[in-house]
Amino acid sequence: MANENFIEKLASSFGQNASVKNVFGEPILSGDKTIIPVARIAYGFGGGYGKGNKKPKKNDDGDEIQPGEESRGKGAGGGGGFTARAKGVYEITPTCTRFIPANPTQKILIGIAIGYFLKKFFFSKNKK
């Protein structure tokens, strides 16, 4: 079926273009440092095809008329999505390699939650 080949080709092309290099660029060389961007990339694609008969038409006498080729329903569709989120960079030097996160929000939220529970635990008033 022609639609299956189209969907496979489109999904394959989509997957080849979904890379960190295409979103954030090549690694950057600066003196003895190399900076490599890191991202979380996700994509999805779906499609479908269907055909079927419409309800048979009735003539003036109430008799059903056999559906002809022109009364058959057909349809196809597809869709996809792509998202890329920066996670950070790897900084490579002659002495070490380190990961620098782009968004430390999760660590900040975990720190706030731990602080909240420690405060409740150590500074709670015992009512007797």
In whole angstroms, what is the distance from residue 95 CA to residue 63 CA? Answer: 88
Distance of CA 53 to the CA centre of its chain: 36
Largest CA distance in the chain: 91
pTM score of the predicted model: 0.48
Residue 82 has pLDDT above 90, yes or no: no
User: Once rounded to an integer, what is the mean pLDDT over residues 77-106?
Assistant: 84
